[in-house]
A and B are shown apart, each in its own frame.
Chain A
Amino acid sequence: DIQMTQSPSTLSASVGDRVTITCRASQSISSGLAWYQQKPGKAPKLLIYKASSLESGVPSRFSGTGSGTEFALTISSLQPDDFATYYCHQYYSYSWTFGQGTRVEIK
């Protein structure tokens, strides 16, 4: 199985900050990676697919980079609506896996 190691587990930041979340795969997954945002009591929302493609309707302050084993999600200027938990998800292999999640909280 491909393991996804996401860091940090918690991130404290202020409105306007630039924040980066990283995800490392235990073996190469090419660009088979997505990022999701989840708020309490809500379903996850797709932000990024194919490692760097922005899902339709998602603000441009979200961006994804990486390929192979190292990936990152960056929020260029954190907004109040962005405080949530973020997950990476690899779908390169037949057996999919999520990262452990990163909770972005208000500093």
Chain B
Amino acid sequence: QVQLQESGPGLVKPSETLSLTCTVSGGSISGYYWSWIRLPPGKGLEWIGYIYYSGSTNYNPSLKSRVTISVDTSKNQFSLRLSSVTAADTAVYYCARHAHGVGMDVWGQGTTVTVSS
């Protein structure tokens, strides 16, 4: 059974770069899209971007200038970098698997990231 686990700092200072990693266990990273999604406090889900296992990416236009998603197939991991963070980037961050045409069927448990000095 495929499982996802997010990891990374829970506290990031304003203007710095948020970095998270999602480790895929129980299955291969090949053949799927891998996404990052966030849930700001009191708001709804926001799609951040995805990477295909081959390395092609697509990002939310509102975040595109600050986001980089990368994949390391040898480690079965993919990562998120969000630069120049502000308090508005405080959220629970989730990683998820998307099978083509199916939707996001496997999710990590989520990790809370707070942006504060």
- Interface residues of chain A, those whose CB is within 8 Å of chain B, are 1, 32, 34, 36, 38, 43-46, 48-50, 55, 87, 89, 91, 94-101
- Interface residues of chain B, those whose CB is within 8 Å of chain A, are 35, 37, 44-47, 50, 58-61, 94, 96, 98, 101-105, 107-110
**In the complex, how many angstroms separate the beta carbon of B91 from the nearest chain A beta carbon?**
13
Q: Is B45 in contact with A44, judged by CB distance below 8 angstroms? A: yes
Secondary structure type dominating chain B contacts: strand
Q: How far is the CA of A101 from the CA of B50 in the complex (A)?
A: 21
Q: Is B105 in contact with A91, judged by CB distance below 8 angstroms? A: no
Q: How far is the CA of A34 from the CA of B97 in the complex (A)?
A: 13
List A contacts of B59 (CB < 8 A): 95
Q: How far is the CA of A101 from the CA of B43 in the complex (A)?
A: 9
Please pick, from A32, A44, A95, the residue contacting B104 in the complex, using a CB distance under 8 A. Answer: A44
Q: Is A43 in contact with B103, judged by CB distance below 8 angstroms? A: no
**In the complex, how many angstroms separate the beta carbon of A3 from the nearest chain B beta carbon?**
12
**In the complex, how many angstroms separate the beta carbon of A11 from the nearest chain B beta carbon?**
15
The residue on B at minimum CB distance from A100 is B44
Please pick, from A1, A36, A46, A99, the residue contacting B61 in the complex, using a CB distance under 8 A. Answer: A1
Please pick, from B60, B103, B110, the residue contacting A89 in the complex, using a CB distance under 8 A. Answer: B103
Given A43-B94, A95-B60, check contact A50 B44 (CB 8 Å): no
Q: Is B104 in contact with A34, judged by CB distance below 8 angstroms? A: yes
